[in-house]
């Protein structure tokens, strides 16, 4: 008899985006004259930079000729791209990352989801709350989460680290020993960041406790403030305790093209039950070589072009466009008297819903009265209740109009 991985049965159904879609569909059916503005989804809207498109064309043409055709590539990524990453994302910031510490992939979602495979299932996992759901769900699948407690709305074996206005979105260090810590900075959904000193405390915790930090910096390119680390490796000693995930999805509009990378430093060690040190880089390399056949050559050439002078200029224009939207949202909501967070180093604005509303009630209210769609904070975790996420990925015109409508409500 074929049996299943019963951990999958422990997953809570995710109704967040399907419920939003259903509510929006229902509303628009009954209000055909209303223009709905969607500031809910976390997908980019600006087209790919021309320099990147040129590289895609060139690479596609190479496939046409016997001399330049490419078949299977290296599972870890082509040297031309890994070298560019090492140079532009690290060396330029004074960080020494070797080419063979970089693993090119088709997404930070896959990498943050798959990384758990190389670690024991008895490790204790800490996640911030609210959180990008992949970290939690993949650990439930792996059997690290234990049973779901309906009353607590939490899994028994997960250590939740609240990040709310009360602690200024700086989660406290765990009050029990944990082994795997997921940090997403700049944060989705709150748009908040940690300073170097604040992040250094986590690195220190991981060192003392022989834990690992899984550092998701998919939104690094949006950082505008000084003293916000662009990479966890800016913190001394972090190479011994952290894996870093980066993505071109939001950086360069690659959500459909698909390219990301993961850095696994060679200094990083994990342990056998007997306490023997093992190089994590070797394990991840083995895992990728066995289960992954690399990112398409054409995509990697596209990614390489992101790092060209032209590419950088063009992607920065898009980032500036989104961050101008973020500024409009942030300032507009501030003027309207909302408590607002994020939006300075991330394309997400996290607002406190008015007193008396749950985050879903505020969703309904905003949809009905302003015809604006956002994302209820509770969809990202229990501590997201009472908050609401707006994204800066819409058009400038729609963003301005949405904020004007919200201002009129108060």
- Chain residues binding ligand PLP by CB under 6 A are 42, 107-109, 132, 184, 188, 216, 218, 247, 249, 255, 260
In this complex, which beta carbon is closest to ligand PLP, that of residue 154 or of residue 262?
Answer: 262
Closer of 253 and 332 to ligand PLP (Cβ): 253
Contact criterion met (CB below 8 Å) for 58 and 51: no
Nearer to ligand PLP, 375 or 399 (CB): 375
CB of 369 to ligand PLP, least distance (A): 28
The residue among 101 and 111 lying less far from ligand PLP, judged by its C-beta, is 111
- Cβ-closest residue to ligand PLP? 107
Instruction: Indicate the SS3 state at residue 138.
Output: helix
CB 335 → ligand PLP: shortest distance, Å? 28
Largest CA distance in the chain: 68
DSSP 155-185: ETTEEEEE-SGGGTT-PPPPSS--SEEEEES
The count of other CB atoms within 10 Å of the CB of residue 336 is: 16
Tokens of 143: 């059997």
Query: In whole angstroms, how close is the CB of 61 to ligand PLP at the nearest point?
Result: 27
Pick between residue 59 and residue 131 the one whose CB is nearest to ligand PLP.
131
Q: How far is the CB of 40 from ligand PLP (least distance, A)?
A: 13
310 backbone dihedrals φ, ψ, rounded to 5° = -60, -50
Q: Please identify, using beta-carbon distances, which residue of 255 and 398 lies nearer to ligand PLP.
A: 255
Contact residues for 339 (Cβ-Cβ < 8 A; gap 6+): 165, 351, 352
CB of 20: closest distance to ligand PLP in angstroms? 15
DSSP 8-class letter at 66: T
Q: Residue 88 gets which letter from DSSP?
A: I
Nearer to ligand PLP, 90 or 348 (CB): 348
Does residue 285 contact residue 262 with C-beta atoms inside 8 Å? no
Q: 72-104 as b/e, with b when 16 or more CB fall inside 10 Å?
A: ebebbbbeebbbbbbeebbeeeebebeeebbbb
Do 161 and 171 meet the contact criterion of CB atoms below 8 Å apart?
Answer: yes
Work out how close the CB of 34 gets to ligand PLP at its nearest, in angstroms, rounded to a whole number: 28
Q: How far is the CB of 22 from ligand PLP (least distance, A)?
A: 21
């Amino acid at each position: 008899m074929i049996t299943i991985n019963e951990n999958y049965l422990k997953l809570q159904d995710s109704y967040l985006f399907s419920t939003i879609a259903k509510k929006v569909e229902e509303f628009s059916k009954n209000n055909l004259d209303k223009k709905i503005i969607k500031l809910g989804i976390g997908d980019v809207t600006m087209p790919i930079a021309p320099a990147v498109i040129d590289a895609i064309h060139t690479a596609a043409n190479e496939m046409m000729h016997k001399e330049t055709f490419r078949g299977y590539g290296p599972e870890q990524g082509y040297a031309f791209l890994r070298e560019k990453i090492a140079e532009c994302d690290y060396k330029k910031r004074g960080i020494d990352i070797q080419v063979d510490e970089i693993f090119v992939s088709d997404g930070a979602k896959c990498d943050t989801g798959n990384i758990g495979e190389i670690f024991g299932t008895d490790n204790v996992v800490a996640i911030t709350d609210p959180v990008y759901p992949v970290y939690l769900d993949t650990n439930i699948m792996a059997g690290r989460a234990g049973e779901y407690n309906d009353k607590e709305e939490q899994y028994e074996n997960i250590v939740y680290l609240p990040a709310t206005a009360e602690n200024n979105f700086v989660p406290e260090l765990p009050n029990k020993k944990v082994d795997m810590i997921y940090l997403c900075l700049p944060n989705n959904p709150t748009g908040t960041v940690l300073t170097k000193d604040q992040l250094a405390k986590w690195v220190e915790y991981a060192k003392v406790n022989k834990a690992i930090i899984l550092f998701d910096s998919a939104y690094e390119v949006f950082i505008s403030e000084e003293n916000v680390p662009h990479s966890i490796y800016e913190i001394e000693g972090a190479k011994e305790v952290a894996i870093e995930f980066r993505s071109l999805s939001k950086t360069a509009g690659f959500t459909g093209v698909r390219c990301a990378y993961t850095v696994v430093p060679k200094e990083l060690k994990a342990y056998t039950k007997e306490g023997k040190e093992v190089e994590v880089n070797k394990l991840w390399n083995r895992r990728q070589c066995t289960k992954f056949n690399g990112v398409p050559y054409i995509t990697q050439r596209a990614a390489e072009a992101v790092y060209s002078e032209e590419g950088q200029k063009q992607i920065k224009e898009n980032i500036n466009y989104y961050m101008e939207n973020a500024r409009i949202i942030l300032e507009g909501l501030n003027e309207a008297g909302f408590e607002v967070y994020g939006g300075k180093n991330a394309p997400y604005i996290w607002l406190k819903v008015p007193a008396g509303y749950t985050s879903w009630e505020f969703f309904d209210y905003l949809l009905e009265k302003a015809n604006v769609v956002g994302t209820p904070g509770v969809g990202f975790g229990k501590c997201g209740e009472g908050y609401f996420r707006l994204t800066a990925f819409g058009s400038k015109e729609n963003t301005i109009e949405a904020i004007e409508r919200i201002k009129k409500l108060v």
